Structure 1
């Protein structure tokens, strides 16, 4: 209705009235007529109330124990607003425009058991704000960004059993409370660091695959006969970087086991700990070094294939210098956020997995800018370079093939190259495009469910780290040749049975990984069956390309 005021004496004879609903009116102040109803025990107001009286509220209502003033326009309170409501059991001030709470606002509410302050633009809460609410059982702070939140605020509330926050991370500041909502951010839950059983299982699977694959390549790489040791050095460096991602996932899985069933008691300490900071730095180090090394290897291939006759072969000193520079850049990018706490705040501790994938509102401006520069600047530029380079390489091979006079097996070879290039670019895209999209959405302040973040960190981000050994070593022709050689020697040893009669099986080729070598003998480079020189050029070009990855 359109009631704007209540006439004197309107409730004068309602001596046994207990419930009063004042809903959807346009009252602009708390009416004196309401205050003088001695029998009221419950008052609910939902209208346009803009201010409260300067005197204590409901001072003549000793029986009042339920006061709801939600969805009004109250913007300020004074310390004496509720001083006369000593029997009040529930107070609801949700969805108003309250910006601050006086320090001793609740000092007289000794019997209060439920307090709702949700969805008010409150910026800060005094550390001792709730000290007098010793019987409080339920506290609702939903929709409030508490920038100065600390354990001290809730420690005196020993009877508090239910608390409601805007963010799951805040639950760590009230570890003694039995029920805290929200009970998960999609990554962690009230009980476990990793909320989902699937996540808890696969963090170990992905960690094991990543670590084993890269360590296996590091150990086996020296046994692959290669004329280009510098390229092998780059591959081993890449495996070391990718192995760090597996170690990161292993540590997350280990702490998940450590805090199993009682994560909320340790959540905030974990996210603020040096362990979380170092683990997050390790993940960023792995990510950035891997991205830069993939870009470097791609540019090497691009120069070799698109400009094969320009003598751009890197020397040992230059290759080592580039690799050292990449690792230095990776360390700088990963550990800068730990060097300036005031600027970056808790950069790695915004979630349980310690990975700063998307910007949180509580994150500092410096941290947001830094995160955007890394993910949408450096990594996006590297991804574009990789896609462009492989596209140019395939086009170069295609052009070489169509200029040959004899093109036997041309379609088959070109399709093989196309599939290999597609798989390389596809795995990079599968890993990075979701991350670019998430970062862009967070920059546009789109709320991103934590479940998506956890899937990205555990399943999508390690894709390259797990597949790089497969792409760069295990599926390459030299590795297959080495395995074939070992198997051949094993069979020879068993069939001959005599040590003196065993013969060593020599490699049938020498692997030229990046640049054709001047020292290679004609016998090693001469094709078995060719009809003319143009086809020889095509095949050599394709063979060199096939051995790169």
Structure 2
């Protein structure tokens, strides 16, 4: 027996309205105006096997609403407004085998249902947190590069002595913020392994856990502090190049105060969604399996104004300043008459080129996010899979590249890495040369000794022949001979030890 109640502008259903329809097996109430599902409204529908509430305005469901529907095997809740349902609300329907939602993350509230639609959000599936092998490999690769790369930067910057301590201090702060992105991806990768094959059973617990909330806070803090620090680095270079005489002396105290204020702002922004649940809801960070609050598929969800300000307004202002500052720096150097003769200006020009490459990579990572956010606010639908690619390939890649661009390709880092090798090889070469020199010196000493003995023999023989008696050579003559031979030895030794 069927009951079609589609397009009847139904706003509410009073408890007991279906109490006498014992033989009803299929009921559809699509395209109505229902906003709340309350306890008692489905009383009497114990024989119903399929229920469709498609295209209503449902925003809230009370726990226990579906208790009378013990034989329902198919439930359609597509095209409604709710984003969260009470836990266990579908557990009272033991025969439920098919359920239909607008968003994959709602399937986590019905883990016992074999067929839940949609089956994936482009990122996760019912089996795995990261449904693609490409994503699984990429998340480990990028997390390792971002984590260990920035640890190397921190070690190198702390160990090496640099003249520009302020600049090095800014790079250290950038490395710390980028390291947080690596830590965030590492946590996601570990939980993907933990939930492999049974992810849907843990989906809601994972997305509502403090670990997922911490991951979301890490991702937001890392991305924003990276943008803030890059802006400060650009401003620092701008004042050094455009106004070199006005800002001659720089010290760490103002830089530390400035970065401390930025870290306070960044931490405040990242924990604000955790403290103000009435505005952000319970799943601002946990809206997807990777705990990333970009809201591409639901642009006007809870906290959308905050997301607009952070990911669009603040970042766009920062990038606008960066572009303007580098254009000013470029033309300032071009106009300078000392560009070809001043060592300092030449160094600044080389540094300008390096930072231009760095800013270009940041633009490639962040401008797509700004553009996509603008497009979604304009009403254009973005595939849910976009979260996966932005979470793994766009947002964190900048954190993995910054150590290479800022530190590992610099002359000082290369000198620190390769200098010990050159020193060791140089010592080996010097030791070998010294041993060879000593060996040849000993050989020459023996030859000189033999020559001196021969000379003494000749002198002695000559004196004997002249005077008839043997005589001893004068000390002065022997000293001159010894001094001459030693001088020749030293000159030869120096020639052998000197490089070619």
**TM-score clears 0.5:** yes
CA deviations on 1:359-400 (whole Å, 9 max, x unpaired) are 6759765x2222222122222211111111122212222222
- What is the rounded CA distance, in whole Å, between the counterparts of 2:313 and 2:363 in structure 1? 16
Q: Is structure 2 residue 85 aligned with structure 1 residue 149?
A: yes
Q: Give the match for residue 299 of structure 1.
A: 235
Q: Secondary structure at the match of 2:75?
A: strand
Contact 1:345/1:363 (CA < 8 Å) preserved in 2?
Answer: no
Q: Give the match for residue 365 of structure 2.
A: 431
Distance 1:171 1:304, change over 3 A: same
Distance 1:488 1:102, change over 3 A: closer
Q: CA deviation at 1:134?
A: 0.9
Q: Is structure 2 residue 172 aligned with structure 1 residue 236?
A: yes
Q: Give the match for residue 518 of structure 1.
A: none
Give the one of 206, 210, 213 matched to 2:146. 210
Contact 1:187/1:454 (CA < 8 Å) preserved in 2?
Answer: yes
Distance 1:243 1:272, change over 3 A: same
- What is the rounded CA distance, in whole Å, between the counterparts of 2:247 and 2:66 in structure 1? 75
Q: CA RMSD in A?
A: 2.9
Q: Secondary structure at the match of 1:260?
A: coil
Q: Give the match for residue 304 of structure 2.
A: 368
Distance 1:303 1:419, change over 3 A: closer
TM-score (norm 2): 0.79
Q: CA deviation at 1:491?
A: 1.7
CA deviations on 1:502-536 (whole Å, 9 max, x unpaired) are xxxxxxxxxxxxxxxxxxxxxxxxxxxxxxxxxxx
Contact 2:120/2:126 (CA < 8 Å) preserved in 1?
Answer: yes
Contact 2:42/2:66 (CA < 8 Å) preserved in 1?
Answer: yes
- What is the rounded CA distance, in whole Å, between the counterparts of 1:118 and 1:205 in structure 2? 42
Q: Which runs of 5+ in 1 are unaligned?
A: 1-64, 502-549
Distance 1:405 1:208, change over 3 A: closer
Q: Secondary structure at the match of 1:180?
A: strand
Q: Which runs of 5+ in 2 are unaligned?
A: 436-500
Q: Secondary structure at the match of 1:450?
A: coil
Q: Give the match for residue 278 of structure 1.
A: 214
- What is the rounded CA distance, in whole Å, between the counterparts of 1:406 and 1:254 in structure 2? 53
Number of aligned positions between the proteins: 431
Contact 2:39/2:63 (CA < 8 Å) preserved in 1?
Answer: no
Q: Structure 2 matches for 1:94-173, cutoff 5 A? A: 94-100=30-36, 103-146=39-82, 149-173=85-109
Q: Is structure 2 residue 29 aligned with structure 1 residue 93?
A: yes
- What is the rounded CA distance, in whole Å, between the counterparts of 1:362 and 1:81 in structure 2? 37
- What is the rounded CA distance, in whole Å, between the counterparts of 2:12 and 2:169 in structure 1? 67
- What is the rounded CA distance, in whole Å, between the counterparts of 1:233 and 1:500 in structure 2? 44
- What is the rounded CA distance, in whole Å, between the counterparts of 2:93 and 2:2 in structure 1? 21
Q: Is structure 2 residue 286 aligned with structure 1 residue 352?
A: no
Distance 1:109 1:424, change over 3 A: same
- What is the rounded CA distance, in whole Å, between the counterparts of 2:390 and 2:131 in structure 1? 14
CA deviations on 1:413-439 (whole Å, 9 max, x unpaired) are 999778645422320110110111122
- What is the rounded CA distance, in whole Å, between the counterparts of 2:132 and 2:61 in structure 1? 33
- What is the rounded CA distance, in whole Å, between the counterparts of 1:383 and 1:112 in structure 2? 58
Contact 1:348/1:355 (CA < 8 Å) preserved in 2?
Answer: yes
CA deviations on 1:280-337 (whole Å, 9 max, x unpaired) are 1111111122111111111111111112222343222112212222222221111122
- What is the rounded CA distance, in whole Å, between the counterparts of 1:344 and 1:130 in structure 2? 28
Give the one of 254, 278, 288 matched to 1:318. 254
Q: Give the match for residue 444 of structure 1.
A: 378
Q: CA deviation at 1:339?
A: 1.8
CA deviations on 1:57-111 (whole Å, 9 max, x unpaired) are xxxxxxxx23344456555545455444322222222233444556433322222
Judge which range, 472-481 or 247-256, deviates more.
Answer: 472-481
Q: Secondary structure at the match of 2:116?
A: strand
Q: Give the match for residue 401 of structure 2.
A: 467
Q: Give the match for residue 389 of structure 1.
A: 325
Contact 1:147/1:362 (CA < 8 Å) preserved in 2?
Answer: no
